[in-house]
Amino acid sequence: MIDCTLIKVRPQVGWGVVHIAAALGCSPSVISGELARHGKGALGYVANTAQSAADASRRLSGRRSRMAIDGPLFGEVSRLLRLK
């Protein structure tokens, strides 16, 4: 999941798309796409609105998170973390 709050705050203090993407460990195209989808209007990018839209989109798509408690990776990741 993308940290919507970071995407809202960092441009206000001069961070560019590339720097935000590096901080979040994702591609700059993900950040620019997020800003293009949810950064329009008088308020600019609103993190809560963007997250709500992302949550609604996921629910409507029928896709499940791979790391859901009953998802395919949760048990394996938990097991590997316990080994550390």
The residue ranges of every structural domain in the chain are: 4-83
Per-residue pLDDT band for 73 (boundaries 50, 70, 90) equals confident
Residues of the chain with pLDDT > 90, as a percent, come to 8
Per-residue pLDDT band for 27 (boundaries 50, 70, 90) equals very high
pLDDT at 43: 64
CA distances from 65 to 5, 10, 58, 59, 62 (A): 21, 27, 9, 10, 10
Mean residue pLDDT across the chain: 82
pLDDT, tens digit, 9 for 90 and up, residues 50-60: 778 888 888 88
Per-residue 3-state assignment (H helix, E strand, C coil) for 7-69: HHHHHHCCCCHHHHHHHHCCCHHHHHHHHHHHCCCCCCCCHHHHHHHHHHHHHHHCCCCCCCC
Q: Is the pLDDT of residue 36 over 70?
A: yes
